[in-house]
Chains A and B, each alone.
Chain A
Amino acid sequence: MRKKCIFSLVGLFALNILSAQSQAIQFEKYTLPNGLKVILHEDHSAPVVAVTALYHVGSKNEDTARTGFAHFFEHLLFEGSDNIKRGEFDKYIANAGGVNNANTSQDRTFYYELFPSNQVDLGLWLESERMMHAKIEQVGVNTQREVVKEEKRQRMDNRPYGSFLTEVLKRAFNVHPYRWAPIGSIDHLNAATLEEFVQFYKTYYVPNNCVLSIAGDINKAELKQKIASYFGPIAKSATPIIRPTIKEPALGGEVRDTIYDNIQLSGVFQAYRAPKQGGSEYYAFNILSTILSGGESSRMTKTLVDTKQQAAFAGSQPFFNEDEGLFITIALANAGVKPDSLELSIDSVVNDLKNNLVGEREFQKVKNQITTGLVSSKATMAGIAESLADNEVYFGDANLINTELDKYNKVTREDILKVAQKYLNKDNRVVLYYLPKPTTAK
């Protein structure tokens, strides 16, 4: 994000796991002649509206010599347009009582504004200006390059364990563009010419690569007219959109490494290669992850933090994307606990999933937790708009927001055992130890 982090794990996954059940989310979906997909969800329960634009471009679309472009555009596209002066984008929003932000993943870039509902037109104007004729100028490029450098320092270089995703990705993938993180390379950004930025904009930030998803206190009939007026005149792009088709081969053996960082507690990060998002194995993995780390009574928390008191924190995170997935476990050792003894304990918790069926009551507990999570994820208009757009882009099915719970309900205890046995194996994982940077004692 421009103001917060670009890919906090939690943020990314919230998109994938959480959405479903309860009262159905009604929505209308249509496509403008220029290819822009529009999804509208009308809900008058509060005088608010979320205006969001999801572009199907992330770091995986980048040239190997120009990594960091997609995330850079997350910043650059706040620089103004033909009709919005530099630096005024945010001011319009604040003056209207709104808030806004954006984030970039390996697969997509998401911009959003939350407004009191009488400001929805402003949202249309801002997003259409951004899509139609954003300012891609040297002065903006120079400014945002400095901001991104600071963001990288603050979020990755200076944050304890902040480099872990970058370090994991480059070891877990060898050929797929998932091998780099969205922040990319500052050197690549330095080397890029203005013309390259303009070309990237013209290729990816076009109506036929975007979903405009709006949720809240709107009048659909009226809004559709306005959407046509603001977005209709934006030309469809003829430039082909490049999506990687490369298939990542199996890891073919355990990869282990040690990273020295400015930290006080050692960390053990394990990343197993895992299936891509959306399939039945993906839902099984999300359940498996909740078994390991969903709440106080979960296995990793109870065993590693409470009973053995080896870890100050222990958790797991499915990191599933459009083409490939990772399943990551994270544990920070208590002072005086060696990472290898902590790793043994993590392995024994994980291996239990490969050797024994999950108990019926525990399995039900985890499904209950997931159900609550899916329902609660529909509490905000911003969450609903994002979920609709994600489901449409990734699965061509915005309505997954209403059917996802069924997918979880189809998962059996045997499925958990199967995915554990298939994926949670040593030769399928990267293990990183994070150790405090040594300092001389005297």
Chain B
Amino acid sequence: MKKLVYLFICCMPITLMAQSIDRTKAPAPGKAPLIQVGNPVKYTLANGLQIFVVKNTKLPTVVASLVINLDGVKEGDKAGVADMAGQLLKRGTTSMSKEVLDEAVEYLGGSLNTSSLSATVSSLKYNFPKLFELMSAVILHPSLANSELEKVRVQTLSGIESNKDDADAISNNVMSKLVYGPNHPFGEIATTKTVNAVKIEDVKNYINSYWKPNMAYLVFVGDIEPAEAKALAEKNLGVWKKGITIPQNFPKPVKPTSTYVAIVDRPASVQSVVAIASTVDLVKGAPNDISANVMNNILGGSFSGRLFNNLREAHGFTYGAYSSLTPNRQIGIFSAEASVRNEKTDSSIQEMLYEINVIRNNKVGDTELNRMKNYLSGGFARSLESPATIANFALNIAKYNLPADYYQKYLTKLAAVNADNVQAAAKDLLFPNQMHIVIVGNAKQIAKGLEKYGPVKYFDIEGNEVAAPTEAKADANLTSAVLIEKITNAMGGGDALSKIKDVQLIGKVNIMGQSLDMTQKLLIPGNAIQTMSMGGMVISKQAVVNGKYEMSQQGQQAPITDEIKEGLDESTHLVPEQTYISKGYKFTIVGAEKVDGKDAVDVELITPSGKKSHRYYDATTYLLVKTMKSQEVPGRAAVVQQEFFKNYQTIEGVAFAKETTIDLGQFKMNINYNEIKVNQGLKLEDLK
């Protein structure tokens, strides 16, 4: 290892002559530093691979990135294949398993990462040639093994699954699809179906089609001589065969002719995710791109943006509100976004549109403009601390055909931006009458009044248009007592129910990709037990047997509260509704709601201990189809727990739901009972 040499100047305490200063005011800045934006050394290999080298000896480290010169590819019914292929690249080569490769990289103290359109390796300079060889092996000879694809698929699917409940992810997906259209790569959404359709051949096909030296840039940054970098590239990637580049021509997305509202109904939402978005005619390097950036930062770029100050500071609708404006190769995108309280959805849209109009119709004042320009130029100067910034600049110049001195002139151009330029950028780019207003939220609570912004349309979480949710209806003359009678009859009627002495439900629980065993046993009257287990080990258990209450998770006993007792007591009845009145529950019909597209009667239930929940009964069959309760979490929006009951089956004249889904927002649990047995002569000792 390199011998260390250090210089260490330690002075004794010294006294310096103090100059007189005026500390009542902030000192003026010194002379603006000369910002030097260097240029990389460039090479092109015979196979078309373009190489940039930014030599920087500040640290004895080197980073190399291979970047495919594409913004994205059309994946169609295999959407997701590009990301999966990117992850698969570093999961082994034809001569090294994943485990061997991981160890080899880390033995050299390095790191190696791959994605759909890039590969990056970094390490200390003296190990760099070996690491570069490993990255090259990954690029030239990835194993692309089926077994690794399956692991990546499981991870991808669980990601999609958790995104289904994530309002922000839904908003992003739907907004992209609506703004770019389904025929544009940026408008495609990976779904369970498309990810399951991906075969190893598709992954290979993706890599073979797009990973070509003549479509790629290779960027070196760090302590490496340009000639040495070139030689390394030549040695390892010189053999990489040139290929035919596949032109990526996508239809240019068009703006909607007029503003409309796109609602994705999410009944569990306590906040609306609002995004006001459209394409903008702004490509990287356009003459107005710097004034456009200043404009966007004034509107909503940060804590000091107008959206933040209006929606959060002045109105308190949200924790944060921002806008973004991103130029790209073909077309850019603008969006203004905020997560707002349900009841402030309409007002928030109004304020966001108001700010868009203000920045179009009025000139920005000098103080605000100068502060933003200082902020942006300071950020530019600070970004130069990282040598990778220079490499990114060079890459942008090449990818987007920017003028060679684009970044050298950036600060001069920024300094020249005036209030007219900012207003012009707003007028040229933002069209409040041609926006997609995408809202993910509780339609029933928020949709009213939104027609004033334009036609209101509804979409599912994959961005497909769906019918507006219809108003649910229920029999207005229904009373609680009559409803309970109807429920009892729906479940089989008093006679049939009274003949059931014991019940056993045996099934499987699916929770985040894992399968568990679920067993419920009832011994009427008054005894019930429910256990969840995996491989014979009990994970959770709740029971009331012989008047003794028990509730445990993973062997840990929970304290038994009145609320838990009520829940356990309820579970001993086939039709707990029969007992509500005698036990002092409040069972009140409060309205109607759609459950899985069907009308249902909405009942509010308050237990004697004061716990409130809702129960929904099908308006035709009167079977229980859903329950909903919210779990208070201090200081945070309540967690809504919904439970759905499906696929009722009659056994010995009594109805049992064979399928239950518990939906906690962030995660879901499906229970399927494949075995339902009644009157098998269960005894108390069987309830363990």
A contacts, CB < 8 Å to B: 21-33, 43, 45-48, 83, 92, 94-99, 114-122, 124-125, 128-129, 153, 157-158, 217, 224-230, 232-233, 258, 260, 262, 264, 266, 294-298, 302, 306, 334-336, 338-341, 361, 364-365, 368-372, 375-376, 378-381, 399, 402-403, 405-406, 409, 433, 435-436, 438-442
Supply 18 A–B pairs (Cβ within 8 Å), ascending by A.
A24-B8, A26-B9, A95-B374, A117-B30, A121-B30, A122-B27, A122-B29, A158-B636, A225-B16, A229-B21, A264-B666, A334-B514, A335-B514, A371-B1, A375-B124, A379-B386, A402-B6, A435-B554
B571 touches A116 (CB 8 A): no
A23, B641: Cα distance in complex, Å: 58
B610 at interface by CB-CB < 8 Å: no
Q: Is the CB of A372 within 8 A of B555?
A: no
Q: Which residues of A contact B513 (CB under 8 A)?
A: 335
B5 sits at the interface (CB 8 A): yes
CB distance B33 to A117 under 8 Å?
A: yes
| Contact between chains at A30 and B29 (CB < 8 Å) | no
Contact indicator B385/A365 (Cβ below 8 Å)? no
Chain B residues with Cβ below 8 Å from A43 are 58
Whether A96 contacts B29 by the Cβ 8 Å rule is: yes
Contact A28 B106 (CB under 8 A): no
B478 in the interface (beta carbon within 8 A):
no
Flag if B385 contacts A380 (CB, 8 Å). Answer: yes
C-alpha spacing A129/B9, complex, angstroms: 29
Contact call B16/A224, Cβ cutoff below 8 A: yes
Q: How far is the CB of B671 from chain A (nearest CB, A)?
A: 10
The answer to whether B512 and A335 touch across the interface, beta carbons within 8 angstroms, is yes
Task: Give bound CA distance, A225 to B15, whole Å.
Answer: 9
- Bound form: Cα–Cα A124–B27 in Å: 9
Contact of A97 among B15, B108, B374 (CB under 8 A): B374
Nearest A residue to B33 by beta-carbon distance?
A: A47
Cβ B61 vs Cβ A230 within 8 A:
no
Write the B368-412 contact mask toward A (1 if CB under 8 angstroms, else 0): 000100111111011011100000000000000000000000000
Residues on the A chain within 8 Å of B7, using CB:
24, 26
User: Chain B interface (Cβ within 8 Å of chain A)?
Assistant: 1-2, 4-21, 23-35, 56-61, 99, 102-103, 105-111, 123-124, 127, 304, 371, 374-379, 381-382, 384-386, 511-514, 516, 530, 534, 537, 539-540, 542, 551-556, 558, 563-564, 566-568, 570-571, 627, 631, 633-636, 639, 641, 643, 666-667
CB closest chain-B residue, reference A123: B27
CB contact under 8 A between A371 and B379, given known A158-B635, A405-B4: no
Contacts of B23 in A (CB 8 A): 83, 125, 128-129, 230
Residues of A within 8 A of B127 (CB): 368
Known: A48-B382, A129-B23, A381-B385. A121 touches B29 (CB 8 A): yes
Tell whether A368 pairs with B382 under 8 Å between CB atoms, given A122-B27, A406-B4. Answer: no
Residues of chain B contacted by A403 (CB below 8 angstroms): 4, 6
Q: Does A438 contact B381, Cβ atoms closer than 8 Å?
A: no
Residues of A within 8 A of B516 (CB): 336
Docked Cα-Cα span, A378 to B563, in Å, equals 56
Q: Identify which of B10, B12, B110, B542 contacts A372 (C-beta below 8 A).
A: B110
Enumerate chain B residues within 8 angstroms of A439, measured Cβ to Cβ: 631, 641
B377 CB to closest chain A CB (Å) equals 6
Q: Decide if B106 touches A48 in the complex (CB within 8 Å).
A: no
B385 and A95: CB pair below 8 A? no
Interface residue from B385, B539, B567 paired with A48 (Cβ < 8 Å): B385
- Distance, CA A312 to CA B140, complexed state (A): 31
A129 (CB) vs chain B CBs: closest residue: B23
A24 with B6: CB separation less than 8 A: yes
* Chain B: CB-nearest residue to A115: B378
Q: Which 7 residue pairs are nearest across A and B when measured between Cβ atoms?
A: A97-B378, A24-B6, A440-B567, A368-B109, A47-B33, A372-B109, A121-B27
Residue of B107, B304, B537 contacting most chain A CB atoms (<10 Å): B107
Q: How far is the CA of A48 from the CA of B378 in the complex (A)?
A: 9
Q: Report the bound CA distance from A365 to B104 in whole Å.
A: 9
Measured between beta carbons, the chain B residues less than 8 angstroms from A365 are 103, 106-107, 109
Q: Which residues of A contact B633 (CB under 8 A)?
A: 158, 262
B553–A153 CB distance below 8 A: no
**Extra A-B contacts (10), CB below 8 Å, given A129-B23, A440-B542:** A23-B57, A43-B58, A95-B374, A125-B23, A125-B26, A158-B635, A228-B18, A262-B639, A264-B512, A365-B109
Tell me the minimal C-beta distance from B47 to chain A in angstroms.
31
Given contacts A33-B13, A402-B8, contact A97 B379 (CB under 8 A): yes
Residue A95 contacts which of B8, B11, B375, B567 (CB distance < 8 angstroms)? B375
Whether the Cβ atoms of B554 and A339 lie closer than 8 Å is: yes
A132: nearest residue on chain B (CB-CB)? Answer: B23
Q: Judge whether A118 and B31 touch: CB under 8 Å.
A: yes
* Nearest A-chain residue to B10, judged by Cβ: A29
Say yes or no: A376 contacts B667, CB within 8 Å: no
Contact of B511 among A114, A336, A368 (CB under 8 A): A336
Is A371 a contact partner of B109 (Cβ separation < 8 A)?
A: yes
Task: Say how far A383's CB is from chain B's closest CB, in angstroms.
Answer: 10
Inter-chain contact B107/A97, CB cutoff 8 Å = no
- What is the minimal beta-carbon distance from A402 to any residue of chain B, in angstroms? 4
Contact B6 A228 (CB under 8 A): no
Whether the pair B304, A94 counts as a contact (CB closer than 8 A) is yes
Which residues of B lie under 8 Å from residue A399 when comparing CB positions?
6, 8
Contacts of B34 in A (CB 8 A): 47
- Return chain A residues, CB-CB under 8 Å to B384: 46-48
Does B571 contact A441, Cβ atoms closer than 8 Å?
Answer: yes
Q: Which residues of A contact B371 (CB under 8 A)?
A: 94-95
B contact residues around A409 at 8 Å (CB):
1
Q: A25 to B59, alpha carbons, bound, how many Å?
A: 11
Q: Are B5 and A24 in contact (CB under 8 A)?
A: yes
Instruction: Return the contact of B61 from the options A298, A341, A372 (Cβ within 8 A).
Output: A372
Closest to B512 in A: A335
Task: List chain B residues, Cβ under 8 A from A336.
Answer: 511, 514, 516, 534, 539
Q: How far is the CA of A341 from the CA of B8 in the complex (A)?
A: 52
Q: Which residue of B lies closest to A295 (CB)?
A: B106
Q: A97-B374, A297-B103 are in contact. Are A45 and B58 (CB under 8 A)?
A: yes
Residues on the A chain within 8 Å of B12, using CB: 30
What's the minimum C-beta distance from B74 to chain A, rounded to whole angstroms?
A: 32
Do the beta carbons of A435 and B556 come within 8 Å of each other?
yes
Contacts of B109 in A (CB 8 A): 365, 368-372
Contact of A442 among B60, B107, B382, B570 (CB under 8 A): B570
CB proximity of A392 to chain B, nearest CB, Å: 11
Residue of A nearest to B641 (CB): A439
Cα(A111)–Cα(B597), bound, Å:
56
B104 to chain A: closest CB distance in Å?
9
Residues of A within 8 A of B27 (CB): 121-122, 124-125
Q: Which residues on A sit within 8 Å (CB–CB) of B636?
A: 153, 158
A131 to B160, CA, bound (A): 51
Chain B residues with Cβ below 8 Å from A381 are 385
Contacts of A260 in B (CB 8 A): 558
Chain A residue with Cβ nearest B382: A48
Closest Cβ of chain B to A434, distance in Å, is 11
Closest Cβ of chain B to A32, distance in Å, is: 7
Most B CB contacts (10 A, CB to CB) among A114, A336, A338, A365 go to A336
CA distance A24 to B5 in the complex (A): 6
Please give, as numbers and ranges, the residues of chain A lying within 8 Å of B108 by CB-CB distance. 368
State how many angstroms separate the Cβ of A367 from the closest Cβ of chain B.
8
Q: Are B567 and A229 in contact (CB under 8 A)?
A: no
Residue of A nearest to B31 (CB): A118
Partner of B106, one of A83, A266, A294: A294
Whole-angstrom distance between the alpha carbons of A226 and B17 in the complex? 9
Of A29, A120, A335, which contacts B30 at CB under 8 A? A120
Q: Are B551 and A438 in contact (CB-based, < 8 A)?
A: yes
Do the beta carbons of B102 and A296 come within 8 Å of each other? yes
Partner of B381, one of A23, A47, A233: A47
Q: Is A442 within 8 A of B29, CB to CB?
A: no
Cross-interface CB contact of B375 among A94, A232, A258, A335, cutoff 8 Å: A94
Shortest B367–chain A CB gap in Å is 9
Give A337's nearest chain B residue, CB to CB: B534
Neighbour of A116 across the interface among B124, B381, B567, CB < 8 A: B381
